[in-house]
Structures are given as structure tokens and as C-alpha cells.
Amino acid sequence: MISLDKEPVLILQKLMFTFLLGAFLSVVAQFSCERFERLRKMRLPVYFISALLILGYYLIISPAPSISFSVKIRTVVAVFAMFCAFIWLPSLKDKADFNNIALIHFKAAFTSVLYAAVLSAGCTSIIAAIDILLFKVNQNAYPITLCIIWIFFADLYYLSLLPRFNSESEADLKYAEHAAIYPRLLEILISYIVIPLIAVYSIVLTAYFIKILVTLKWPAGQLGPMILAYSAVGLITFILSNQLKNKFTLVFRLVFPKALILMVIMQLISVVIRVNAYGITESRYYVILFGMLSLACGILFSFKPAAKNGFIALLAAGLAILSVIPPVDAFTVSRCSQIARLENMLRSEGVLSKDGKIIPKSAVPVKTRLESTRILDYLETRNYLKYINWLPADFKIKEMKDTFGFDAAYEDWSEKYFGASLDTQKPIEISGYDIFIHVQSYTMMDDSTYSPYNFQVRNNKYKLIIKRISPQEVNVSVNNSEGIELVSSGLYSLASALPKVNNTPKGSLSPELMTLDVQNNGYKLRIILLEVNINYGTDKDPSINYDFLVLFGEPSK
């Protein structure tokens, strides 16, 4: 299965998801037996119940015609809940310190990943050496070897490093105590590298929030991933730093929870604005859920003692389970939100009556057509169209005109971007010119990149100067040895005219359309655009990247 060159058959995919969930459920069962004396005496029944749950999961997904998006997300969320559960279980009722447990898991995972990475590099190098020096090796040997290392060795070695947290035997207690020793290397990493970086990142985010308050302009979606990463890294660092007593960690544990509350509130406001504009989707649902978790953690960290940090794992597992249980699960909420948004949009345009009857109408604004198509695409991808009662049972996106009276509409990217390149199959006229130079100018290049080009024609020295005037304009000039400008031209006039060219494939334009000629006192300058890319973006003025040839000719004698 791991070496197939095509997607595995459906039953193998279902077994893969079943084994993934089963592995984590088995670990939870083992940790439960270690934690509770009563369950320890009933290991076989516990293992049997776990096997039944795994079998039940397989029976639930077995009738599915495919591994849908919801099956993948539900499985991943369930795995995350199991992970939180087996980290939290040993600390239940303060039987063990959660911070020590988290540290032990982190050290075991880091060690396992390090060993697996070294083993992967060594094994692939050996296979490559055999392939080059001795005999040809099947290319599938590489992915098979890596799968064995990362799926079997890394996981089993990680689990082997974990102590029996709740055991009362002297040997187990000594091993657990040794496993909880804080490494000096990790102390330096957390105290003097990670925490200062989080502090600087917090300052940047705070400055950005102040900018938002001043400009009253909220971000268009880019804030969410930043706050998610900030919250996740910050929370992990907070837990791992609880054993450290230096000034950096003490100040961090005092300030971070308050900063986290501020960041999460701003993130939630940003997400709510997006939800009001575009409705709820699964991704926004989980961003909100993680925001609520981070907010709760910030409040708890501000008031509760460090020993109670295990509550975080329990809360995370509970929210994860909540997110897959109808009717408050991510999929039901997202589906209902998008269907309601579609209905309101169509009703406002008179396409859908109050009693749920479709009234075909062709005179519908472009914005409504774009949004309706986008929502229906989303619902069709998720197999949610069957939940819309007023829609024909066999409805397809391509049948929108027959159903609603207007065609499906998609974003016209030509209104935001334009690109053209030179048709290299056609000849370029170069007579009358003495030299040509290939030049590139991109908006991301700084001024130091544009160094002058020195060249010589018939013992006369010249200097080609390229200067970016603005995001749109680039000036090209040729000076003599005394620095006097002989001939020059800008590129924007040529580039701005290209989108207006009709009846020509924009990807390939003739040399005549891509050429600009300038003369001054007999000096000739010809600019031939090899490629031009215009990004109109959301600003009033576009930005343009140029790739071009500069041809120069002296006055004829």
C-alpha cells in the first residue's frame, strides 16, 4: 500500500483511517489501565471494549462511497481528542504533575524524531550508494524505508520512552523521576531563544492592533493564522517553562496570559467580521473554537496555579469532541450557515420566494451570481446539496441557468492580473543597433540591485542605468562616459497598453507589440519586453514586473 503509484483502493483508505484512530484509542486504553487500579485488574475487558469501538468506527465508515471531507476531519479531531486524553490521564486528581508529564512527552517526541531523522538519512544514503555503486534499486525502496522508520520505529520508540506514570514500584518511580529532569539545552532554548522571540512577536502584533484601532481597517483574513500559531507556540512554551525559575520565564508566565487574552479577543473580532460577511465554514468554526480555548487558557493561567495546567488538555479534548457531535458540530453549523446565506441572497433578488419556490431571473447582479456560485460549489464539494429542500434532487452547477435563470459566474482573474510574453517563434529586427543587454526589474528588488551596466561601442564608453521610479514605472537610460544622458525612456507606457490588445492570446505577443523605440540626436534605444506581469491587486495603482532586452545604437556616420 505504501508504494502504490496511484491512490489506494477505497477499502485500504478506510483501513488506514481505522488503524490511525485505533492506535490512539489503544494508547488511551493502556494509560487508563495504568491510571486506575480497578481497570488494571480488568485489562482484557478494557482492551476488548477498545477493539469493539475500533470495529464500530470501521462499520460506520464502511458503507461510505468515498472518504469524504467530513470523515477525514472527524477522524483527525477524534485522534486529537485521544492525544489530549492520554496526556491528561496520568495527572487526573493530581496523581502526577501535568507539567512534568508534558515535559516527558516533549522530550520523548523530540528524541524519537531526532533518531528517526538520522536513521532516515542513513538508510536513504545506503540505498543510494547501493543503487549507484552495485546494482539498480527499485525507486519504491525509498518511500517504503521512510514509512517503516516514521510509522513504526518513531512511534514505538516514542512510546517506549514514556514511563509508567502512576506506578508505585521503586524502579518505575526512579525512571519517571529521571525522565522528568529538565535538560540544560532545553532550558536555554526555552528561556533565551523561544521566550524572547514570542515577546518580540507580541510587540509586533500589539503594534498592528494599535494600527487597526487608528485606521479602523480590519485585516482580510491574514490575522487568523498568525494568532493561531502564536497561541499554539505560546501555550506549549508556557507549559514547558513551568519548572524554570529564571527571570525570563517568571516574567513570561506573568505577562503572556494577559497578552494572549488581548490577541485572542482581536482575533475573534476579526473572525466575527468575516463570518458576518461570508458565513461560517469548517475552517472558521475551528478558528473560533481554538480562539475560545486560547481565551479560556489565558484566563485560567492568570488566576490558577501552574499545577492545574492539566485542565487545558481536558478542555481541548472536550471541545474537540463537541465539534464532531451534531447538531453543534462544525459540519452541521457550516452547512446551515451557508445554506441560510444562499437563501437570503436569492430571496433579496427575488429568485427564491418565501415559500421556497425558485423564480428564474436573468437580471441578477454580478456579485450575487459570484457569491451564489461560490456557495453552491462549496455545498456540492461537501455533498450538502441534498439538504436543500427547494433545490431539484439532480441539480448540478452547470444547470444553474436552467434552474435559477442565470449562469454560474466565477472570479475574473484577468481583472486582477495580466501577463504577456514575447512570441519567440517570430524574428526580431536588430539592424542599426550595436549591442543588446538582458535586464530584469521586479518590484521586490531593492535599489542596490540596479547597478549600472558599463559597455563599449567603437571605443566609446557608455553606461546603461536602470531605475525603478515606482511600482509601475522603470526608467531606462544610456549615459556617455561624462555622465550625460544620451537617450532614455520609461516602460510603463508600453506595458499599460498591452492589456488593451484585442484578438491576440495574451500569453504570446508579437515583437511589434512588445517593442518600444526611442531616438535622440541619432542615438537609438530599443526596448523589447520578453515578459511583463501586471498585478492590479486591491490598490488603486498596479505593480509591474519586467523582463526585457535593451538594444542601443550609436549615430550612423
Q: What is the 3-state secondary structure (H, E, C) of 118-138?
A: HHHHHHHHHHHHHHHHCCCCC
Looking at the structure, tell me whether residues 137 and 29 fall in a common domain: yes
Whether pTM exceeds 0.75: no
- Work out the angle at residue 412's Cα, subtended by the Cα atoms of residues 541 and 515, and round it to the nearest 5 degrees: 55
CA 149 to chain centre: 26
Looking at the structure, tell me whether residues 143 and 17 fall in a common domain: yes
Q: What are the two backbone dihedrals, phi and then psi, of residue 417, each rounded to the nearest 5 degrees?
A: -135, 150
Per the CB < 8 A criterion, the answer to whether 477 and 487 are in contact is yes
**Of 128, 152, 179, which residue constitutes the final position of a domain?**
179
Task: Label residues 454-486 b or e (16+ Cβ within 10 Å = b).
Answer: ebeeeeeebbbbbebeebbbbbbbbbeeeeeeb
Question: Is there a domain that residue 410 lies in?
Answer: no
Looking at the structure, tell me whether residues 521 and 470 fall in a common domain: yes
Looking at the structure, tell me whether residues 28 and 165 fall in a common domain: yes
CB under 8 Å to 314, separation ≥6 — which residues? 84, 88
Question: Is there a domain that residue 430 lies in?
Answer: yes
Q: What is the pLDDT of residue 3?
A: 43
Residue-wise DSSP of 393-458: TT--GGGHHHHHSS------GGGTEEEEEB-TTS----TT--EEEEEEE-TT--GGG---EEEEET
Using H for helix, E for strand and C for coil, what is the string for 246-310? CHHHHHHHHHHHHHHHHHHHHHHHHHHHHHHHHCCCHHHHHHHHHHHHHHHHHHHHHHCCHHHHH
Looking at the structure, tell me whether residues 26 and 172 fall in a common domain: yes
Looking at the structure, tell me whether residues 108 and 126 fall in a common domain: yes
Nearest CA to 324 out of 506, 522, 77 is that of 77
DSSP type of residue 461: E
Which runs of consecutive H residues, i.e. helices, occur in 134-167?
Answer: 141-147, 154-160
Nearest CA to 324 out of 84, 81, 56 is that of 81
C-alpha cell at 499: 492589456
**Of 179, 213, 233, which residue constitutes the final position of a domain?**
179
Per the CB < 8 A criterion, the answer to whether 481 and 460 are in contact is yes
Per the CB < 8 A criterion, the answer to whether 287 and 271 are in contact is yes
Task: Say how many domains are in the chain.
Answer: 4
Q: Which amino acid is at 122?
A: G
Per the CB < 8 A criterion, the answer to whether 433 and 526 are in contact is yes
Looking at the structure, tell me whether residues 458 and 342 fall in a common domain: no
Question: Is there a domain that residue 102 lies in?
Answer: yes
**Of 127, 161, 179, which residue constitutes the final position of a domain?**
179
Cross-strand pairs, 435: 552
CA distance between the termini of the chain = 76
Question: Is there a domain that residue 412 lies in?
Answer: no
Cross-strand pairs, 358: 352
Question: Is there a domain that residue 260 lies in?
Answer: yes
Within the chain, how many helices (H) and strands (E) appear?
A: 18, 9
Q: Please report, in tens digits, the pLDDT of each residue of the chain (557 residues total).
A: 444 556 678 888 889 899 999 999 998 888 888 877 788 788 888 889 999 999 999 998 888 788 888 888 889 999 999 988 888 888 877 677 788 888 999 999 999 999 999 999 999 999 999 989 888 888 889 989 999 999 899 999 999 998 888 777 888 788 888 888 888 999 999 999 999 999 999 999 889 888 888 887 776 666 778 888 899 999 999 988 888 888 888 899 889 999 999 999 988 888 888 888 889 999 899 999 999 999 998 988 888 766 567 788 888 999 999 998 888 999 999 999 999 999 999 998 888 888 888 888 888 888 888 888 899 998 988 888 888 888 888 888 877 888 888 877 776 655 677 888 888 888 888 888 999 899 988 887 766 556 788 998 988 999 999 988 888 889 999 999 888 999 999 998 888 888 776 545 456 788 888 999 999 988 999 999 999 988 876 555 678 999 999 999 998 76
Collapsing DSSP to helix, strand or coil, 549 comes out as strand
Looking at the structure, tell me whether residues 427 and 514 fall in a common domain: yes
How many CB atoms are closer than 10 A to CB 355? 6
- For residues 428 and 426, give the distance between their C-alpha atoms in angstroms, rounded to a whole number: 7
Residue 358 Cα distances to 336, 346, 397, 400, 486, angstroms: 19, 9, 15, 11, 69
Question: Is there a domain that residue 4 lies in?
Answer: no
Per the CB < 8 A criterion, the answer to whether 410 and 370 are in contact is yes
Nearest CA to 306 out of 94, 538, 553 is that of 94
Looking at the structure, tell me whether residues 158 and 193 fall in a common domain: no
Per the CB < 8 A criterion, the answer to whether 112 and 161 are in contact is yes
E strands in 28-120: none
C-alpha cell at 83: 492525544
Question: Is there a domain that residue 347 lies in?
Answer: yes
Collapsing DSSP to helix, strand or coil, 481 comes out as coil
DSSP type of residue 22: H
- For residues 35 and 27, give the distance between their C-alpha atoms in angstroms, rounded to a whole number: 12
How many CB atoms are closer than 10 A to CB 137? 15
How many CB atoms are closer than 10 A to CB 309? 23
Looking at the structure, tell me whether residues 350 and 308 fall in a common domain: no
DSSP type of residue 512: T
Range of the domain at 363: 330-404
Q: What is the pLDDT of residue 117?
A: 96
- For residues 547 and 529, give the distance between their C-alpha atoms in angstroms, rounded to a whole number: 6
Q: What is the pLDDT of residue 221?
A: 62
Looking at the structure, tell me whether residues 445 and 537 fall in a common domain: yes
Looking at the structure, tell me whether residues 303 and 380 fall in a common domain: no
Nearest CA to 312 out of 10, 42, 88, 79 is that of 88
How many CB atoms are closer than 10 A to CB 229? 11
Question: Is there a domain that residue 36 lies in?
Answer: yes
- Work out the angle at residue 231's Cα, subtended by the Cα atoms of residues 185 and 95, and round it to the nearest 5 degrees: 65
Q: Is 517 left (phi over 0), alpha (psi -120 to 50) or beta?
A: beta
pLDDT tens-place string over residues 209-257: 888 888 877 766 667 788 888 999 999 999 888 888 888 888 998 899 9
